[in-house]
Amino acid sequence: MSGNSNITGTTLLFEITTQHPTLNFGSREEGYPPVDPVTVAVQNTGNVDVALNQLPAVTGWTLTPGIGWGTLQPSATTTFTIRPNTGLPADEYAPTIHITGSGGANATINPTFTVTDASVFAISADPAAPDLGSLVEWYAAPSNVTVVMIRNEGNRPISLAAFQWNAVPG
């Protein structure tokens, strides 16, 4: 993106571009460890020096200027790092971030990061301790049926591939 000025027939191009206009940091579950930062190059693609402005403050993200952040001569490159902050709640984070400089120089990056709810795996049984009565060893199949409702109390699918009832001898 650029800003243009015209001084006595010469067009001054204040232009910068970024190496990674789109960054996908993937998806993590709440409580995730710190995400590794990504280095983004910013190049002056114009024909005059561009004084880069301070990196913007972006909610949920950390942007850190690299060595040499400041004034870029034509064709020169500098870098900054970006990463999502730790401890973000479940949500999608996809800001448009403007990197700006003198003369209207402007480039954007669009990072994305998704935080999902922490996995909770839990089930409950109702009744929790059904009374199945008692039978003598080598018994015939009981005639009564006891229904036990198993409920998923978590936030992730659970597969009950095998179910075993452990009877306690009495």
CATH number of the domain within which 36 lies: 2.60.40.10
Q: Is residue 162 part of a domain?
A: no
Q: Is residue 63 part of a domain?
A: yes
Q: Is residue 156 part of a domain?
A: no
pTM for the model stands at 0.69
Between the CA atoms of 139, 140, 144 and 148, what dihedral angle is there, to the nearest 10 degrees? Answer: 70
Cα 115 to Cα 88, 97, 141, 153: the distances in Å are 7, 19, 51, 21
d(CA 91, CA 84): 12
Give residue 10's domain range.
2-116
Q: Is residue 165 part of a domain?
A: no
Q: Is residue 151 part of a domain?
A: no
Domains: count for the chain: 1
d(CA 119, CA 88): 15
pLDDT tens for the chain, residues 1 to 170: 455 555 556 788 999 999 888 999 999 999 999 999 999 999 999 999 999 999 999 999 999 999 989 999 999 999 999 999 999 999 999 999 999 999 999 999 999 999 998 877 788 888 877 776 676 777 666 667 777 788 888 777 888 776 666 655 55
Q: Is residue 21 part of a domain?
A: yes
